Amino acid sequence: MSRSSLDIDLHRKISCLINSQTKKLSQIVTSLTSARLGILGGSGLYEINQLKKTKEIELETPYGKPSDSLRMGELGGMEVVFLARHGRHHTFTPTEVPYRANIWALRSLGVRWILSPSAVGSLQEEVRPLDMVVPDQFIDRTHQRPLTFFTNGAVAHVSMADPFCPILSKILATAGENLMPEGRQLHRSGTYLAMEGPAFSTRAESNLYRSWGCNIIGMTNHTEARLAREAEIAYSSLSMVTDYDCWHPDHDSVSVDMVIDNLHANAEIANEIMLAASKEISKQRPSSAAHVALKDGLMTDKDKVPEQTRAKLDLFTQPYWGK
């Protein structure tokens, strides 16, 4: 075969690959027109007050039962699925939350964006109790969590360089800024230190995390964000500051009573922010890099994946591996 023939053949193969990938991406983006918004309620936020026309859905997943029944309804013109990550009666510790079941269940109901309001402690003076943060980075200090769907004969490596969707975070931050009461601030970026829990930090740990430049500390969001990325769901957090952890010399160390009091103060405004953000997401239905996270992340040849494993992953991998 001549060099020119080889070049033509290579060009055709590249063109076919590009056309195939373009078609797949087009199908994914088109699916956003009917996609739903998921809201994962954290400590103190066990329901969304303005969710209308609700119905309860009980689901079994390949990873067990979710934390609770899922409540589907309408919020600001958007179909929304709400799930209390700790259960509506707060019966799951941060380690016990069935993260994989929760994310799988949301994706199975057509969720392609997740907003995650959750309680955090502050690690910096300028981030005060009753402020809110829309973080843009993580440091993970958990060690007892399942952090991937891809096990048992299937391997995927998704990019987590930017673990929160910047487009979704911008929508959430803008909604929050417009609704924050006087004297309280919404911070548009920050690093979230994810700890195992359920106990709060020691003073030494708290000061170590401060020295790393972390802004807030929590126990749940990193695990959700990792799994949401594999499930090709855009994820963003509304981190509601309840305390100064235990590092601040002029404030009492964090306690459950302190957290609960400030959570109640935050709950009403958090509901309003979820409504405003939902309205904007309904208008924009933004596409995200997260929505195609597996495109370049699947490592194992589909024909080498055990049938049982592939069946569990089918919800996420169909666009790439076929049904």
Residue identified by tokens 């048992």 is: 152
* 87-137 confidence digits (pLDDT tens): 999 999 999 999 999 999 999 999 999 999 999 999 999 999 999 999 999
- Looking at residue 248, its pLDDT comes to 84
Question: What is the DSSP secondary structure assignment for residue 168, as one 8-state letter?
Answer: H
- CB atoms under 10 Å from CB of 262, counted, come to 18
DSSP-derived 3-state class of residue 262: helix
Catalytic residue from among 7, 140, 245, 252: 245
Q: Residue 193 domain-assigned?
A: yes
Q: Residue 236 domain-assigned?
A: yes
The answer on pLDDT for 11 being more than 50 is no
Q: Residue 102 domain-assigned?
A: yes
Answer whether 155's CB lies under 8 Å from 79's CB. Answer: no
- Looking at residue 261, its pLDDT comes to 74
β-bridge mates for residue 114, sequence order: 38, 235
Mean pLDDT over all residues of the chain? 90
Q: Residue 96 domain-assigned?
A: yes
Q: Is 184 exposed, middle or buried (0-12, 13-18, 19+ CB in 10 A)?
A: middle
Counting every residue, how long is the chain?
323
CATH number of the domain encompassing residue 103: 3.40.50.1580
- Looking at residue 42, its pLDDT comes to 82
Q: Residue 233 domain-assigned?
A: yes
Distance, CA of 308 to CA of 124 (rounded, Å):
47
DSSP-derived 3-state class of residue 318: helix
Q: Residue 271 domain-assigned?
A: yes
Split into its structural domains, the chain has a count of: 1
* Residue 132 lies in domain: 38-45+53-321
Identity (one letter) of the amino acid at 95?
Answer: T
Is pLDDT larger for residue 253 or for residue 149?
149
Catalytic residue from among 68, 131, 136, 243: 243
Q: Residue 14 domain-assigned?
A: no
* Active-site residue, 131 included: no
Q: Residue 309 domain-assigned?
A: yes
Look at residues 178, 202, 224 and name the one whose alpha carbon lies nearest to residue 121. 202
* Active-site residue, 245 included: yes
Identity (one letter) of the amino acid at 270?
Answer: A
